[in-house]
Structure 1
Amino acid sequence: MKLKYIYAVICLFGTILPFLQFIPWVIENGLDIPLFVQELFSTRIGAFFGLDVIVSAVALFVFIYTESKRIQMPYFWVPMLATLSVGVSLGLPWFLYMRLVHLEKRA
């Protein structure tokens, strides 16, 4: 299986798996951002994962921006938007997919 298809499958799982937890929470609580933050940081382990994802997202944005400029890849903002709307679990594999497709076209 080609690497770009593996990235595409990871994008699918990276969207579905987090939303399987998030959508029922939203149905139950609505888009209550203060409650979301409170529950995310209500335990040390939750805070650990929350902060880990936030730092990872910042690092991913830096990587996406600098690598996209280096290889002159357009639409670098799309995986950034995916990261903000779903998470690193979608943004990272989407960027890797886009990068691979861009490099294949250039070759």
Structure 2
Amino acid sequence: MDRVYVFLAFIGFVIPYSVFISWMLNHGLDFSLLWQSIMDEPISLFAWLDVLIAAVAVLVYTFHQRANYSNIQIKCIAFGTCLVGVSFSLPLLLYFNEINQKI
């Protein structure tokens, strides 16, 4: 199962970033346009809020269970959540759970 989690983390990094990089190439670092795009449609706001709440849940769970993870694992999950997103950090968290149970 650990290979599945690594694959999902990889996909969770590549797919969202490919969309984000495409948007950045078209619009640059226009944060006001990004914010406007988020707020324009209720479905966009729903998706962003859903991901934000999931990210908070991943971080809270990780820090609550920090005794089960090494410091580097905690940092990878935290930075992965903040810099990439839940699509990357949740499979990474599950991977760390899997390998830590084998030890």
Identity of aligned residues (%): 29
Q: Which residue of 2 aligns with 1:49?
A: 47
SS at match of 1:31: coil
Does 1:58 pair with 2:28?
Answer: no
Q: Which residue of 2 aligns with 1:33?
A: 31
Could you report, residue by residue, the CA deviation over 1:26-53 in whole angstroms, capped at 9, with x for unpaired residues? Answer: 1111222222122122100000001111
Counterpart amino acid of residue 37 in structure 1: W
1:55 Cα shift? 0.8
Query: Could you tell me how far apart the structure 2 residues matched to 1:68 and 1:97 are?
Result: 15
Unaligned runs of at least 5 residues, structure 1: none
Alignment of 1:27-106 (within 5 A): 27-69=25-67, 71=68, 73-74=69-70, 75=72, 76-105=74-103
Query: Could you tell me how far apart the structure 1 residues matched to 2:32 and 2:98 are?
Result: 38
Q: 1:18 aligns with which of 2, 10, 16?
A: 16
Name the structure where helix makes up a greater proportion of residues: 2
Query: Could you tell me how far apart the structure 1 residues matched to 2:76 and 2:16 are?
Result: 19
1:13 Cα shift? 0.9
The number of aligned residues is 101
1:20 Cα shift? 2.1
Query: Could you tell me how far apart the structure 2 residues matched to 1:85 and 1:18 are?
Result: 11
Q: Is the 8 A contact 1:41 1:50 kept in 2?
A: no
Query: Could you tell me how far apart the structure 1 residues matched to 2:34 and 2:57 are?
Result: 23
Q: 1:7 aligns with which of 5, 8, 14?
A: 5
